[in-house]
Structure 1
Amino acid sequence: MFTRTYPNFAKGRILKTEMLENLRDYPHELTDLFLRDYSDGIVAGTEIRVGEDSLCIGPGIVKHGGMIYTLTREVELPYAATGRETVLKIRFYPAETEGDFTVCRAEPVLDEHVSVSSEELELARFKLKEGARLRSDYRNFADLATEYNTLNRLHAQYAGFRQSTLHPEIMRYFAAELMKSRASGTQDFTFAMQCLSVQPVDREAILHYLALRLGKEYKTYTNVQIHTHLTRVLEEAGSGGRPVTGGRFGAPQRMIVD
């Protein structure tokens, strides 16, 4: 049967071990049940704010090895222009016993080792040239993959139903450009609305949309490959994925023949 059990603290009652265990276990049990079918990855938050010489990682929730980790306060990491690819990761450490508690720790780090181990989770990466400014504002959807001086979230592992998916902000960016383009198909409108209203968008839904939209067989793609194909969708839809010289992005172009 379904139950909800909570201790009764009242004057004259004996404080029992079971009552304290209930307080300890209930929040973890509830979270684990709610996220049981989700893959490892970012669950919520962990937004990245780019400063002049540091990255600020906001509070958030991540899942790793089936366990839930929370960051309750902002963490700031200084960065430098090295011209080499640097990965912002969360690094997980083995559990430790400290007195009456078992502590599972993880911390954000900047690492020039591009490969991400099984005990790490990527949040973003960048390659900053000396004298340049790191930016997180993008000109268009294609600009998300710019190699230099741009915060790249395409490799980030976001928790999804049974498999990881793309960061919701990436899919919202795609949907916004698609809606502003000349795309008029029902499948485009339906998928765009899903991207704008559902967080995160299931990876399976993205892959099926790409197969249908591009007229190809269903295939599994990496995050970067998905971005490449979504950029192609925008180009075919008429937005071009690029700024229009001398006019509004996505606006129709006119050719004058003399």
Structure 2
Amino acid sequence: MDKAIGSGQEEYLSQVYADDAVPDSDSEMELGRFKLQPGARLRTEYTDYYDFATEFDTVGRIHVPYAAPGGSSIWPFILQRYAAALAETATQNPWDCAFCLNSLQMEEAMPYREIRAYLNARLGQSEEYTNEQIYTALRSILQEAEGKKERPGKRTDRPQGMLML
């Protein structure tokens, strides 16, 4: 809305409203998503890392841009929950260990470039990620570490070797 200048600062007035439209990036910012079922209560507490993606009756903060050095990033609490869950798996992957320790000690948002570097190194890619893609990639790594799912293209149920005829 309008800009007010005073005391050496700029102040912007805003209005919060709920709709199902995609925010206009020039003048709007998403603060959260939710689908509330009739008679249900909206919650903001999360039981574990996977609970951030609960579709109904939970405030979804995965898509919300969070202020971080160098630009917007993902909500720090998501990274802290990921790191805590991954640390419990006793992962031996050096990228995972370094990222976990860094995430757990940070008191503010982790810069996007650090998250991107971790995901690209860990997944062997060279990509740019949206917050949703960051969450999904981290979930995939966590599931792999928990033994629930393999990384795409990686099969361990067959013996490794070469068959020569």
Q: CA RMSD in A?
A: 2.4
Alpha carbons of structure 1 residues 97 and 226: separation in structure 2 relative to 1, 3 Å: closer
1:110 deviation in Å? 3.0
1:239 deviation in Å? 6.4
Structure 2 counterpart of 1:205, from 80, 104, 114: 114
What stretches of structure 1 move > 6 A for 4+ residues in a row?
none
CA contact (8 A) 2:70 2:111 kept: no
What SS is found at the alignment partner of 1:159? strand
Corresponding pairs, count: 145
Flag the structure with higher helix content.
2
CA contact (8 A) 1:176 1:192 kept: yes
Structure 2 counterpart of 1:237, from 118, 123, 145: 145
Distance 1:134 1:103 in 2: 31
TM-score (norm 1): 0.51
AA of the residue aligned to 1:135: R
Structure 1 partner of 2:49: 141
TM-score (norm 2): 0.78
CA contact (8 A) 1:182 1:238 kept: no
Distance 2:128 2:95 in 1: 20
Flag the structure with higher strand content.
1
CA contact (8 A) 1:160 1:200 kept: yes
Alpha carbons of structure 1 residues 238 and 105: separation in structure 2 relative to 1, 3 Å: same
Distance 1:134 1:236 in 2: 31
Structure 1 partner of 2:30: 122
Give the number of the structure whose alpha-carbon radius of gyration is greater: 1
Give ranges in structure 1 of 5+ residues lacking alignment.
Answer: 1-92, 242-258
Give ranges in structure 2 of 5+ residues lacking alignment.
Answer: 150-165
What SS is found at the alignment partner of 1:152? coil
- Percent identity between the two aligned chains: 33
